[in-house]
Homo-oligomer: A and B are copies of this chain.
Amino acid sequence: MTITSTATTATDTGHGITRTVTVRPGMCGPGSLFPGQLGDWTWETVTAQCGTDVFSARDASGNPTYLAFYYFRVRGDRTLHPRSLTFGDRLTVTSGCYDQGTESVLTLHRVDRAGTPGADRPLDLAEFYERPRGGTLYVENFNRWVTRSAPDSNQGLVKSSPPDFRNDGLPALPAAYSPRAVYREARGAHTFRAPDEPGFTPLDTTVEIEHPVDVVRDVNGVGLLYFASYFSMIDEAALALWRRLGRSDRAFLRRVVVDQQVCYLGNADLDSVLVLGAHARTSTTTPGEEIVDVVIRDRDNGRVIAVSTLHTVHDLHGSHDPKGHA
């Protein structure tokens, strides 16, 4: 008996890896499961293309080293976005790595609904960065090799790639597409969009909430804050702002995140209290279109550990709003 309808199949033809995937409960929903799945695909892709087993990597000193997420972008549209995925959907995912030196790597994933024309086309940087197609989800993961600088701490992680990590076989990324310029700007401005971007007006309402690290939900299998849990914390802040604006949880679950960028600037110890701040700008031309900026700080030392910008569209008075449905 063969498992045809649910197994993930992966083939690597030339540079890109193409997977055919059935969406499972463990990789969809409003939480952080889909970003978590994307991250696992990144580690699989780097393992396949860069000569090192990312899942059990060690640096030259023999210490565990992690291919940490530093910049994460998920960009879709109103027809295909993370919340549009549900049980049983069939996806074609094409993935590939690009050279970013010996200590980091860029991984791109293109997600199409299986069976759509061209779903098996090769990765195309011009399409990815300049001419995205409708109905396609584009994911960028920029990762850096880090290890703990002290066994007792999640702070002060230091660069440390495994000796067998090979970047020299990877295609180059044109400078115009470099994620470094993007996240460098966001790191300083605390937003990925120009603060004075035309067509948007800041809302007066903002929120700032405390989030003690949740050792049940926020921690990964090596005792660090799990990168995907940042997505939940970002949404926790966005939801707090949403409620303060007098909007319903159901409308929140219905909103569409067409684009989200996250820059991970640090980790935190498990006894930390984080402060999640959110503010938003609303479109002056398209009702329901907003830009939401979220900044995550470590309360006690003030360090910013993440910056995220979400581009969302919503309809507060959706005609279809069944109780309990998203």
**Nearest opposing residue in chain B for A5, CB measure:** B53
Partner among B30, B44, B66, B249 whose Cβ is within 8 Å of the Cβ of A271 = B249
**Nearest opposing residue in chain B for A227, CB measure:** B25
Residues of chain B lying within 8 A (CB to CB) of residue A55: 5-6, 22-24, 87-88
Complexed CA–CA distance, A310 and B28 (Å):
28
B228 adjacent to A216 (CB under 8 Å): no
A39 at the interface (CB under 8 A from B): yes
What band does the interface of chain A fall in when counting residues whose beta carbon is under 8 Å from B?
A: 35 or more
| Interface window among A172-180, A181-189, A231-239 | A231-239
Partner among B43, B57, B66, B219 whose Cβ is within 8 Å of the Cβ of A24 = B43
Partner among B25, B223, B323 whose Cβ is within 8 Å of the Cβ of A40 = B25
Please give the distance in Å from A38's CB to the nearest CB on chain B. Answer: 9
Complexed CA–CA distance, A49 and B222 (Å):
35
A26 adjacent to B22 (CB under 8 Å): no
Q: Which of A219, A221, A322 has the most chain B CB atoms inside 10 A of its CB?
A: A221
Please give the distance in Å from A218's CB to the nearest CB on chain B. Answer: 8
A166 at the interface (CB under 8 A from B): no
A324 at the interface (CB under 8 A from B): yes
Partner among B10, B215, B232, B322 whose Cβ is within 8 Å of the Cβ of A151 = B322
B3 adjacent to A47 (CB under 8 Å): yes
A239 adjacent to B216 (CB under 8 Å): yes
Q: Which of A2, A56, A152 has the most chain B CB atoms inside 10 A of its CB?
A: A56
Residues of chain B lying within 8 A (CB to CB) of residue A232: 216-217
Residues 30-54 of A contacting B (Cβ, < 8 Å): 30-33, 36-37, 39-40, 43-44, 47-49, 53-54
A87 adjacent to B10 (CB under 8 Å): no
Residues of chain B lying within 8 A (CB to CB) of residue A137: none
